[in-house]
Each structure stands twice: as C-alpha cells, then as structure tokens.
C-alpha cells in the first residue's frame, strides 16, 4: 500500500494558492467546528455503523440498482465492484468549488466504476473501466490521513461513492480512530439509496450532489436510469435533513451543509429550470448552488453507440458545448426564484 499511496500522491503536483476572504452573514458562520464523525465515534456509535455497512454488502442494496448480490464474497453487480472499493487516484484537488479547495486543496479520493452509465461522462475512463487499485478499508483510511497530515488538505472528498458507500463507512471509522479531524465530503451523482444515506448520517459533513436530469425519459436516454430524477430528489432532501444549508468558518472554508451542483447541458434549459425550482421550493431558499459550465461532448456523444431499444444513437441534441446565453438565462432564472448563494459571482 505504501508504494500505491506514493504513486497516487506523486501523480499530481501540489499547487500553492492564496487564502480567500469570504464575507459571511452570521447564520452561515461557524467557529471551532467539530466534524460529525468525531462525535459519532465519541458516543460509541461507530461500530454499529460499520456492522450495518457490512450487512448492506452481504445483500447489496448500496445503491438504487438493488442488485442483492453478496459483495462480501466478491460477487459483482451493476457497478462491477466487489468486496473492496477501486480507488483511481487520491490528491489535493484545486478544481473544486472555491469554498472547498481553499489554499491547500480538497483531499479528493476518486473511486473507480459507477452505478450510472452517463453517455457524456467526462471521467468515462475510470467510471466505465476498471482503472485503479482495489483497496481495503485500512488502505483507504491511510490515504485519508495522508491527505490530512502530509498535504494539509482542508477536507476529505469522496468522489463517486454511491456504489461503495459501505466501504466508505469502514474507512471513515478507521481514519477517525487514526486521528482524522477534517470535514468529510460526499461528492455524488445523487443516485444514492436512502439506506446508504442513512449510514452516512453522523459521518458526512458536506454533501456535494450533482442533480443532472428532471425527467425519467431524459434520464433513461442519457444515464440509463429511468428512476434517477425521483431518486435524486429524495436523496437531496435527505442530505438537507441531515446537514442543512452550507456554513463556513471565518476563513471562507465550507464546514457543513449541502452544496448542490447542476451541470448545464445544451438544449436542456427546461429541465435545469425544473431542478432549480425544486431546490428553491423544496430544499431551501438559502441553498448554495453551483451552475457548472464545463460540459463538453465526450465519451459516446457524437461518436455514438448501439442501444438495445433505439439502435445506433449519437445524442446529437447534446453534441455541442453550452452557450453563454444558456448559462446567463439559468443564472437569471435562479435569482428570480429567490436563490442567492452561488459559486462564482453573479452580476
């Protein structure tokens, strides 16, 4: 593991930035914040969570695919992941939201493979192929502690953890026992089971869900999960129930709460508006929102693929970047809804 750990860390050069200053209203300011996993451990509740996580793996319902396979015996379902999580990389990330990356970076641990099949996935080389190492919980915990102690990251950021939520619980328990004391981020597509999210209650400080699509038809076409919209809505409501609106310390670093992402896609303005309205009406007017602009056609888009029911498909409706007018229109719509906390500056 020591050799693997060095490889993961040395694969990305560290970038030194400058501290950001964030002007905060008092309700969104916290000082001397203690990550929730520390309290869970102190109360003697951690072992019960670990045992429940292992039970979930035995008849896997870790995500909405409900494969019911015994992953403790390394049987693989839709996500193609068995007993141990696949870790593709671990490093201080400076491409996350400013309130997460700070000046030392967000300590990202990218999990390989996925429970969705997004035709435009920008990380398809690790989400649809097995690229990385199958690591045991203690090895993942070791990575977490290295990110905290050696590279001084502000948080631990689990990327695409939906299908390995039980393994995440095991790793968190060991890392806390080993001295972890920074906030934990759960960075997800929002295709999460309620069972797994309840396991995360008392372990995760910051939820970072990407709400992708509003309609079942679009979801089936673009991520091959017709139930995605309803699952995502319920998942985000549960996240909000657990940790509430995003709050920061005086240095402008997020400490606890929900930060909702939406990847803006071409020709999907109405779906984006429906998602923003859901956030405003059902989550919180004070929700922190990031309208992401970095969509680009990749993976199966333009190149095409053969689908069982529709034949050869190239997804022409999303085969271009988003336009500035599409972004500006959604920003204005979000503000008209009363949303006001955004990543980046809105004029």
- Whole-model pTM: value is 0.92
Cα(335)–Cα(330) distance, integer angstroms: 9
Q: What angle do CA 129, 145, 241 make, to 5 degrees?
A: 75
Q: Walk me through the domains of the chain, giving residue ranges and CATH numbers.
A: 36-337 (3.20.20.70)
61-103, pLDDT tens digit by residue? 999 999 999 999 999 999 999 999 999 999 999 999 999 999 9
Does 153 belong to an annotated binding site?
Answer: no
pLDDT of residue 131: 86
Helix axes 165-177 and 137-149, enclosed angle (nearest 10) = 60
pLDDT of residue 17: 44
Cα 166 to Cα 51, 83, 195, 324: the distances in Å are 9, 10, 10, 40
pLDDT of residue 307: 74
Long-range Cβ pairs for the range 316-324 (8 Å, 24+): 317/266, 317/267, 318/120, 318/222, 318/265, 318/266, 318/267, 318/268, 319/266, 320/266, 321/266, 321/295, 321/296, 321/297, 322/264, 322/265, 322/266, 322/293, 322/295, 323/266
Does 67 belong to an annotated binding site?
Answer: no
Buried b (16+ CB within 10 A) or exposed e, 73-96: eeeebbbebbbbbbbbbbbbbbeb
Q: Which residue's structure tokens are 């300590």?
A: 107
Taking the chain (347 residues) in runs of 10, the rounded mean pLDDT of each run is 42 39 72 96 98 96 96 96 97 97 97 95 86 96 98 98 98 98 98 97 98 98 97 98 96 96 97 98 98 94 81 92 97 97 75
Does 118 belong to an annotated binding site?
Answer: yes
% helix / strand / coil in the chain, to the nearest 5? 40, 15, 45
Cα(347)–Cα(280) distance, integer angstroms: 19
33-64, pLDDT tens digit by residue? 999 999 999 999 999 999 999 999 999 999 99
Closest CA to 167 of 69, 24, 57: 57
Q: Which tokens go with 56? A: 């979930």
Cα(331)–Cα(300) distance, integer angstroms: 28
């Amino acid at each position: 593991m020591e050799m693997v750990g060095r490889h993961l860390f040395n694969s990305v050069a560290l970038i030194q930035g400058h501290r950001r200053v964030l002007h905060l209203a008092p309700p969104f300011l916290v000082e001397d914040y203690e990550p929730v996993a520390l309290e869970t451990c102190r109360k003697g509740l951690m072992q019960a969570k670990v045992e429940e996580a292992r039970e979930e793996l035995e008849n896997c319902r870790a995500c909405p695919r409900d494969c019911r396979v015994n992953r403790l015996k390394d049987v693989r379902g839709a996500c193609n992941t068995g007993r141990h999580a696949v870790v593709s990389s671990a490093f201080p990330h400076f491409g996350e939201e400013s309130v997460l990356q700070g000046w030392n970076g967000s300590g990202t641990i990218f999990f390989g493979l996925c429970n969705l099949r997004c035709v435009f996935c920008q990380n398809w080389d690790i989400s649809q192929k097995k690229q990385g190492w199958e690591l045991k919980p203690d090895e993942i915990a070791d990575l977490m502690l290295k990110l905290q102690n050696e590279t001084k990251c502000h948080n631990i950021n689990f990327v695409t953890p939906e299908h390995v939520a039980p393994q995440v619980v095991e790793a968190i328990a060991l890392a806390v026992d080993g001295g972890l004391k920074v906030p934990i981020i759960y960075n997800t597509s929002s295709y999460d089971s309620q069972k797994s999210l309840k396991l995360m209650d008392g372990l995760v400080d910051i939820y970072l869900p990407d709400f992708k699509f509003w309609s079942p038809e679009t979801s089936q076409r673009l991520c091959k999960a017709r139930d995605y919209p309803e699952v995502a809505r319920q998942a985000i409501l549960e996240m909000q129930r657990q940790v509430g609106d995003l709050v920061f310390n005086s240095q402008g670093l997020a400490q606890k709460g929900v930060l909702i992402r939406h990847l803006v896609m071409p020709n999907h303005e109405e779906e984006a508006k429906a998602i923003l309205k859901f956030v405003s009406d059902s989550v919180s007017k004070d929700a922190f929102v990031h309208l992401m602009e970095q969509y680009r056609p990749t993976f199966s888009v333009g190149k095409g693929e053969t689908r069982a029911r529709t034949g050869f498909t190239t997804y022409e409706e999303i085969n271009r970047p988003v336009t500035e007018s599409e972004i500006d229109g959604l920003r204005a719509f979000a503000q008209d809804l009363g949303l006001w906390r955004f990543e980046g500056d809105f004029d």
